[in-house]
Amino acid sequence: MNSDRTLHGAVRSSHAVAGAPCWVSLSARDLAAAQHFYAAVLGWEWSRAGHGDRFRLACADGVPVAGAAEVAGAWQTAVAWTPYFAVADADEAVSRGKERGGTPAVGPIAFPSGRAALLADRDGAVFGVWEGALVAGWEHWRESAPAFVRLHTRDAFDAAIFYGEVLRWASGGPGSCEVVYDGDEVVLSNQGDVVARIFSGALGEAPDPTLRPHWQVVFAVPDVAGRAEAAVAHGGGVVRHDPERGEIILSDPDGARFTVTARPARK
């Protein structure tokens, strides 16, 4: 399951896909336990990330698709899956987020291949920004990573304005994302691919975290029910079943929530 080899993957700069989700990462308390759980549930293999003993890369068929870091205690962040968006300048993105009512949480922090920061938007949904070289070429990651991101928020249109200004969506620059309003949702696309969706209806004070504003990370798997059974067998749980979408929200043993779906990641 675990490999001592280090992957050196920086292929393309985040400038090339400005504003697009470019990575997903797990903030964990117990890195070894997280590796064991996700290897069993999603079939991932793990490799050293080159950022120290507290970081690992998850690989699918040899391609880096996600990260995990044992930083929940040190950074005083929640155990959670978080999407990261590509930006040209992490400091500017954090500054724009703060000016527009967001809350800087961590960083920017320097890594060998770039700089990262965590923020919360105006409604409390946590996301990250990444400036620098990508772990794998963006197109390669999009083709190989079984991940999709979806924002559940109070007002999709208000959120689109916030993220558009912070992440430079619809700026017209090379590689920038396009925004389309489709009924009551916002659809984000980059280079012809849908890369994220934003939905209205989340409740800010809901006791259930899945009903409050949050970014949801979705993994496409060949057997949704089987992955749910594996999660329970390895100390996780089933949070909610959405038969209409063919999705199940799961939790890992630490409480981090993620979704599995049978649909392709780009749909």
Model confidence at 3, pLDDT cuts 50, 70, 90, reads very low
* Alpha-carbon span 143 to 128, nearest angstrom: 21
C-beta separation of 58 from 40 below 8 A: no
User: What's residue 1's pLDDT?
Assistant: 35
pLDDT higher for 175 or 160? 160
DSSP states of 208-263: STTTSSEEEEEEE-S-HHHHHHHHHHTT-EEEEEETTTTEEEEE-TT--EEEEESS
Angle between helices 90-99 and 156-167 (to 10 degrees): 140
C-beta separation of 92 from 18 below 8 A: no
pLDDT, mean of residues 43-55: 77
User: What's residue 8's pLDDT?
Assistant: 36
Number of residues that make up the chain: 267
C-beta separation of 126 from 118 below 8 A: yes
The proportion of the chain whose per-residue pLDDT surpasses 90, expressed as a percent, equals 33
User: Rounded to an integer, what is the distance from CA 239 to the centroid of its chain?
Assistant: 19
Pair type for strands 126-132 and 114-120: antiparallel
Q: By mean pLDDT, which of 91-105, 197-211, 249-263 is the weakest?
A: 197-211
pLDDT, mean of residues 61-90: 81
* Alpha-carbon span 152 to 200, nearest angstrom: 6
pLDDT digits (tens, 9 = 90+) for 115-134: 889 999 999 999 999 988 77
Nearest alpha carbon to residue 35 among 44, 48, 22: 44
pLDDT digits (tens, 9 = 90+) for 148-167: 799 999 899 999 999 999 99
